[in-house]
A = this chain, B = another copy of it.
Amino acid sequence: MRYSLFGESHGPAIGIVLQDVPPGLEIDMDFIAAEMARRAPGGSPLATARKEKDAVRIVSGVFEGRACGTPLCGIIENTDTRSRDYTATRWLARPGHADYAAHLRYQGFEDYRGGGHFSGRLTAPLVFAGAVAKLALRQKGIEIFAHIRQAAGIDDRALDFAQPDREALRAAGKKSFPVLDDARGESMRQAILAARADGDSVGGLLEGVILGMPAGTGGPDFDENLETCLARHLFAVPAVKGLAFGLGFGFAALRGSEANDAFVPGNPPATRTNHNGGINGGIANGMPIVFTVAIKPTPSISREQDTVDMRSGEAAKLIIAGRHDPCILPRAVPVVEAAAALAVSGVPGVLA
């Protein structure tokens, strides 16, 4: 599925146009609302206090409860855009944010309020579209999961790449703090609250798993390569700064004899290990697709930071006001799942 994302954080509305939705697909609004709720702010001390219902209004592409096959547009009105005065910080580039780069890119005409088009808020329509993609993939027996693999340096329980625990993954997805091991999750939470108390934020890793991907889909070409397709969608998610398949960076210290996935007999055959994360040569080999994304710490922290005035280049001090997440990992989980769902649904032979 192809999509066009639009909107700015403090503009009238944000939304998405989604193409190639299979005609007849039942648009399960409860499922979509549940997915949106997983990403929505306001439910936790770990997240921003901004409260928006994020109610998606579908204005096209759905007829009598089903996709009619034409482009599906979902719109979310921006209702809680406090009419805060940005005058004081208009020209101060927030470190770690896209403010300065966007200022150059758009020659000073960018909508700077709340990060504009670069706001994490734009992940709401992405989750909406991902939910639609998940509904379509589910019909094909494909399921997508993600969980917090690491936060503040604390690891979740390791997953068996060759035989990931589907039930544990499903359960994790329903938690407000989506980890496999709740005790480790609690340690992570404490570390996040400690960072918050320090006016700081933390980063981490998310692990994604795709089950049921048909073996033989994908290919070497850019537009069908599973790794490039997932990369294209995942690196478009704000705060993602790294992506690895299977062992990923862990391959660097291994030898071939350790890294290779030996085949085990069967019909179809499988591999004993799944270090390659289910993909060889850009093609699904029938094993679970496993990937990891690195999420940088929320750049918006309440501590004073060194910056510059973008007009003059002169030094300035910045204190970021407003509502921010000390850790976006829990809310990033459904976003990463959504990006993966959209990526996979566009690979030839998966949906059509």
Kindly state the separation between the CA atoms of A203 and B258 in the bound complex, as whole angstroms. Answer: 11
Inter-subunit contact A236/B282 (CB<8 Å): yes
Contact partner of A248 (CB less than 8 A), chosen from B98, B269, B294, is B294
Q: Is the CB of B110 within 8 A of A68?
A: yes
Let me know if A43 is at the binding interface, CB within 8 A: no
Residues 242-282 of A, flagged 1 when their CB comes within 8 A of B and 0 if not, give 11111111111111111111111111110110011101111
| Interface presence of A158 (CB below 8 A) | no
Choice from B153, B221, B276, B348 contacting A352 with Cβ under 8 Å: B348
Q: Are B248 and A202 in contact (CB under 8 A)?
A: no
Verify A23–B106 contact, CB threshold 8 A.
yes
Give Cα A227 to B272, complex, Å.
Answer: 33
Choose one: B24, B117, B267; the contact of A109 (CB below 8 Å).
Answer: B24
**Is A88 at the interface (CB under 8 A from chain B)?**
no
The reply on A238 being an interface residue by CB < 8 A is yes
Give the segment of A30-38, A132-140, A178-186, A303-311 that binds chain B.
Answer: A303-311
CA separation between A99 and B236, bound complex, in Å? 31
Check if B349 sits within 8 Å of A308, measured CB to CB: no
By the criterion CB–CB under 8 Å, are A283 and B252 in contact?
A: no
Asked if A215 and B276 make an inter-chain contact with CB atoms under 8 angstroms apart, the answer reads no
List residues of chain B with CB within 8 A of the CB of A315. 264-265
A67 CB within 8 Å of chain B? yes
* A96-118 Cβ-contact flags toward B at 8 Å (1 or 0): 11111110111111110000111
CB-defined interface of A50-83 with B at 8 Å, one 1/0 digit per residue? Answer: 0000000111111100111111110100000000
CB–CB B243/A220 < 8 A: no
Known: A276-B241, A307-B263. A203 touches B116 (CB 8 A): no
A8 contact set on B, CB distance < 8 A: 60-61, 63, 68, 70
Query: Is A228 among interface residues, defined by CB-CB distance under 8 A?
Result: yes
Cα separation A314 to B265 with both chains bound (whole Å): 5
In the complex, the answer to whether B220 meets A227 with C-beta atoms within 8 Å is: no
Question: Does A295 lie at the interface of the complex (its beta carbon under 8 Å from any beta carbon of B)?
Answer: yes
Q: Is A286 an interface residue (CB 8 A)?
A: yes
Interface residues of A in 306-337 (CB under 8 A from B): 306-308, 310, 313-315
Closest 8 CB pairs of A and B: A98-B281, A104-B216, A242-B244, A201-B256, A101-B283, A231-B231, A63-B111, A242-B248
Q: Which residues of A contact B (CB under 8 A)?
A: 4-8, 11-15, 17, 19, 23-24, 57-63, 66-73, 75, 93, 95-102, 104-111, 116-118, 150-153, 195, 198-205, 215-222, 225, 227-228, 231-232, 235-236, 238, 240-269, 271-272, 275-277, 279-286, 292, 294-301, 303, 305-308, 310, 313-315, 348-349, 352
